[in-house]
Amino acid sequence: MEISELYEIFKQHPVVTTDSRDCPAGSLFFALKGASFNGNKFAAAALEKGCAYAVVDEAEYAVEGDDRFILVDDCLHTLQQLARYHRRALGTPIIGITGTNGKTTTKELTAAVLLQKYNVLYTEGNFNNDIGVPKTLLRLNAEHDIAVVEMGASHPGDIKTLVEIVEPDYALITNVGRAHLQGFGSFEGVIKTKGELYDFVRSAAAGENDAYAIREVERPRCVFIDNDNPHLNGIATGLNLVRYGINAADNLYVTAADVKSEPMLSFSWTAEGKAAHHVESQLIGAYNITNMLAAIAIGTYFGVEAERIDAALTNYAPSNNRSQFEQTADNRLIVDAYNANPTSMAAALNNFETINADHKMAIIGDMKELGSVSHDEHQRIVDQLSRMTLEEVWLVGSEFEHTTTPATFRKFENVAGVKEAIASEKPHDRYILIKGSNGTRLFELPELL
């Protein structure tokens, strides 16, 4: 079946599911496959549960004579092509966001700001991969004024695949850091892959994408860039740049001053040299200032009033264990346990060191997917911890197990051991940083502290 034909079916049944346990009446089921599952096997069940059609890519699961089964060559590719066809049909302006750290927070902040003026579609949670991105685009409808789409990557070429589906009109790379090195192979591989977002915008602006060229947008297409990031500036040649940053420069569209984190981030900002505004945020960490400035730059560029930007940023409350502050009956916690890599870990520790508090403690979990440099990167974090003025340091996971640490540092094989220690020792009156990759499950600890 041609994508144009499938799109006519989608317009009549504009809800897509890839989970046979979640089959809204009249929806389209796409039988995706993975290492341990084959969605084709559940296509018939999806129809029984309420789906109007099932898209499959194995003929044996397409019941002969039943028009509700749609046989294609590859279900994932078809899902992606349908999403791009839909995106082109609507022509909604799209801001594409990627980066090593802060992309989900920046996406959330940007959406919060734009919602002050527009009907905005934005990525839910971190549905930023080759399945989540097309499903996000297929939620677009004619009532949306603009979309903010987050794109993640763990291997070379991942961003290229996603931008060719999304075809963003505006772009933002939050930063590039030492993450997923096992997949990328090197830091240079990270830069090249993230830079695929810039590559698309650059080629599209040169007229190499007809759909992009003929689509009208209210404001000129551009790339929003952290002017203080040398890696991003190094790959941004030939682009229409809207710059934001902390360090003074003549070409800044948005800049910040009086940046403090005690522990909540507060700062003043100006756009285009106009009057300064002040924000008292609910985010932990001075490292979040670039995420805030990105959202301010985008909001200002799209005409959101400064006072509404202030309100959106002030009212934004982090979730999903990202830069969250929690006051419990016994302790004060900084919970940043959704993800961790050497860049974000070092930034979190630097910020924790600057907080003026007594009885500081760090519970630090392994950083995953670092490949051959894992030992060196974990040792580097241990060395940083050794230079800090902390009363206690607990290290969690097999990677930290093999590092050389001061005698005062405690090591735990997994989070279960940490839970036992908390139960028996009951830390009290501590200021505790909790950070590690999601796989270390440190997010289970706050309720115990």
Give the pLDDT confidence score for residue 106 in this predicted structure.
95
Per the CB < 8 A criterion, the answer to whether 328 and 303 are in contact is no
Per the CB < 8 A criterion, the answer to whether 193 and 159 are in contact is yes
**DSSP class of residue 33?**
B
**DSSP class of residue 176?**
-
Question: What pLDDT, in 10s, does the model give residues 345-386?
Answer: 998 999 999 888 899 999 999 998 888 889 999 999 999 999
> Tell me, what amino acid is at 77?
H
Give me the residue label for tokens 């001061």. Answer: 406
How many residues in total does the chain contain? 449
Coil, strand or helix at 122? strand
What's the distance, CA 340 to chain centroid? 13
Distance set, CA 106 to CA 112, 173, 276, 324, 369 (Å): 10, 10, 21, 15, 23
- Cβ within 8 Å of residue 232, ≥6 positions away: 173, 175, 176, 225, 226
Separation of alpha carbons 400 and 170, rounded Å: 40
What's the distance, CA 129 to chain centroid? 10
Question: What pLDDT, in 10s, does the model give residues 82-122?
Answer: 999 999 999 999 999 998 888 899 999 999 999 999 999 99
Which residues does residue 243 pair with via DSSP β-bridges, in sequence order?
Answer: 225
Give the pLDDT confidence score for residue 297 in this predicted structure.
97
Question: What pLDDT, in 10s, does the model give residues 278-304?
Answer: 999 999 888 899 999 999 999 999 999
Per the CB < 8 A criterion, the answer to whether 32 and 75 are in contact is yes
Give the pLDDT confidence score for residue 91 in this predicted structure.
93
Give me the residue label for tokens 């927070």. Answer: 105
pLDDT over threshold 80, residue 20: yes
pLDDT over threshold 70, residue 179: no
Separation of alpha carbons 219 and 403, rounded Å: 52
> Tell me, what amino acid is at 319?
S
Give the pLDDT confidence score for residue 87 in this predicted structure.
96
Exposure of 193 in the CB half-sphere (CA atoms within 13 A): 28
pLDDT over threshold 80, residue 183: no
Separation of alpha carbons 239 and 29, rounded Å: 40
Separation of alpha carbons 47 and 194, rounded Å: 39
Separation of alpha carbons 202 and 212, rounded Å: 11
In which band, very low, low, confident or very high, does the pLDDT at 180 lie, cut at 50, 70 and 90?
low
* CA gyration radius, the chain: 23
**DSSP class of residue 348?**
H
Give the mean pLDDT of 272-282: 91
Of 253, 257, 261, 259, which Cα lies nearest the Cα of 299? 253
Give the mean pLDDT of 12-26: 94
